[in-house]
């Protein structure tokens, strides 16, 4: 099977300026010499319980694990699940590599037309059936309720159907809720966690770099079910993390513990980031659809997923016939081809990122955060105009 070349660009990207409050806590802990316990110290895990309680998920410290990034948690969870992994197509670029590193089979089930983040329930059942026909044993389904790469949130009724199918097939559900705090319109978008549907069979994952801490601070959490089965899974996952030897850096753990308490400064920053990304993602969506492409309206996070298949003929005239070529041509707009998200490499689909509109340098990015309407800033207007111009050139009607 052909493998996608590794993507050297960071995800999350370089991002926005570090919040002074968090920088001060990191600086204060810079002299710490003792190692953070693998899985997270009691203080950090207790702070994580408060973080989830404010989101309606009562949690005890013994249900929590912390690690330097979601990849480490996925690696541990895939290892102990000991079976094939089922993923939506497309899905976050972080989901498949840990499974492949362990030699676990990966099976993709296409997402429905309405949103990404979870597979169509009938496609899920068929994917599991076919996997078993070929001798694989699917054990894990990864979902995302605020999806990367599509920037969408599945409707509660869709999630119910998928969770019922997962339960029917005996799958553990890993619910990636990294971007649920980055809803563009919290009053108009309902986000339901799978743990509210299958409380005994869902592990919640969140990469704190998306909304709570700077992009360069690796910190992620896992919340396990408060059941005997959940405790067994957590113990096994902790053993795997111990084997990996990947604790959170001590000074970062101190700053993360403070951030999980969500003081006013942290809450205000998260709200500002959601507002800015909402405006920029909406502008990208408008630019893509105005050019004739298809694109689900973004509801969360900083990305849109553009489908330019309706424009294949004019794009082919420019030598663009697969997602790798589309990625290269649209690189200035943080483009990543669909092949990086498990999608068909021959399809003309690409993720575009709002980070491409933020500008270069922390001073300019701070101006974006502070602006009442970031779309009025000249450098953002220029970048959007350039994207519109390039798409117009690439998709102009072909004679003959």
Q: Is the pLDDT at 358 greater than 90, yes or no?
A: yes
**For residue range 285-342, what is the model confidence (pLDDT) as tens digits?**
999 999 999 999 999 999 999 999 999 999 999 999 999 999 999 999 999 999 999 9
Residue 183 per-residue DSSP state: B
**For residue range 47-58, what is the model confidence (pLDDT) as tens digits?**
999 999 999 999
Q: Is the pLDDT at 397 greater than 80, yes or no?
A: no
Residue-level pLDDT at 177 = 97
Mean pLDDT (the chain) is 94
Confidence at 1, pLDDT banded by 50, 70, 90: very low
Task: Write the CA distances from 341 to 35, 225, 263, 336, 345, integer angstroms.
Answer: 35, 28, 35, 9, 10
Q: Is the pLDDT at 13 greater than 90, yes or no?
A: no
Picking from 358, 308, 314, 367, the residue whose alpha carbon sits closest to that of residue 333 is: 358
**For residue range 238-272, what is the model confidence (pLDDT) as tens digits?**
999 999 998 899 999 999 999 999 999 999 999 99
User: From CA 333, how far away is CA 384, in angstroms rounded?
Assistant: 9
**For residue range 144-164, what is the model confidence (pLDDT) as tens digits?**
999 999 999 999 999 999 999
Residue-level pLDDT at 5 = 53
User: Residue 108 burial (CB < 10 Å; 0-12/13-18/19+)?
Assistant: buried
Residue-level pLDDT at 113 = 93
> Which residue stretches of the chain are H helix?
20-28, 42-53, 70-81, 96-101, 121-133, 156-168, 228-244, 250-260, 264-290, 312-317, 323-329, 362-370, 378-394
Q: Is the pLDDT at 22 greater than 90, yes or no?
A: yes
Q: Is the pLDDT at 2 greater than 50, yes or no?
A: no
Q: Is the pTM of this model over 0.85?
A: yes
């Amino acid at each position: 099977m052909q493998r996608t070349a590794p993507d050297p660009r960071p995800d999350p990207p370089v991002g926005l300026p570090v919040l002074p409050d968090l920088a001060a806590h990191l600086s204060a802990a810079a002299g710490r010499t003792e190692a953070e316990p693998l899985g997270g110290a009691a203080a950090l895990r207790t702070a994580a319980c408060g973080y989830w309680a404010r989101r309606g998920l009562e949690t005890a410290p013994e249900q929590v694990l912390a690690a330097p990034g979601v990849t480490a948690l996925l690696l541990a969870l895939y290892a102990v699940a000991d079976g094939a992994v089922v993923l939506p197509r497309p899905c976050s670029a972080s989901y498949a590599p840990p499974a492949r590193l362990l030699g676990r089979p990966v099976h993709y089930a296409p997402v429905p037309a309405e949103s990404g983040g979870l597979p169509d329930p009938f496609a899920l059942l068929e994917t599991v059936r076919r996997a078993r026909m070929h001798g694989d044993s699917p054990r894990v389904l990864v979902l995302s309720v605020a999806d990367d790469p599509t920037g969408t949130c599945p409707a509660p009724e869709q999630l119910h159907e998928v969770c019922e199918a997962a339960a029917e097939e005996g799958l553990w559900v890993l619910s990636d809720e990294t971007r649920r705090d980055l809803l563009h319109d919290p009053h108009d978008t309902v986000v339901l966690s799978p743990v509210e549907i299958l409380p005994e069979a869902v592990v919640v994952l969140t990469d704190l770099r998306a909304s709570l801490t700077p992009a360069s601070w690796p910190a992620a959490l896992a919340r396990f079910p408060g059941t005997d089965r959940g405790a067994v899974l957590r113990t096994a996952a902790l053993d795997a993390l111990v084997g990996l030897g990947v604790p959170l850096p001590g000074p970062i753990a101190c700053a993360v513990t403070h951030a999980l308490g969500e003081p006013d400064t942290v809450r205000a920053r998260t709200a500002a980031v959601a507002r800015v990304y909402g405006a920029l993602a909406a502008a990208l969506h408008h630019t893509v659809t105005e050019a004739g492409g298809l694109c689900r309206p973004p509801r969360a996070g900083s990305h849109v997923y553009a489908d330019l298949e309706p424009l294949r003929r004019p794009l082919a005239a420019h030598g663009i016939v697969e997602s790798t070529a589309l990625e290269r041509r649209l690189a200035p707009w943080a483009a990543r081809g669909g092949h990086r998200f498990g999608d068909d490499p021959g399809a003309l689909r690409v993720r575009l990122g709002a980070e491409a509109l933020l500008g270069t340098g922390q001073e300019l990015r701070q101006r974006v955060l502070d602006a009442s309407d970031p779309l009025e800033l000249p450098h953002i207007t220029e970048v959007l105009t350039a994207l519109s111009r390039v798409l117009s050139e690439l998709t102009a009607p072909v004679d003959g």
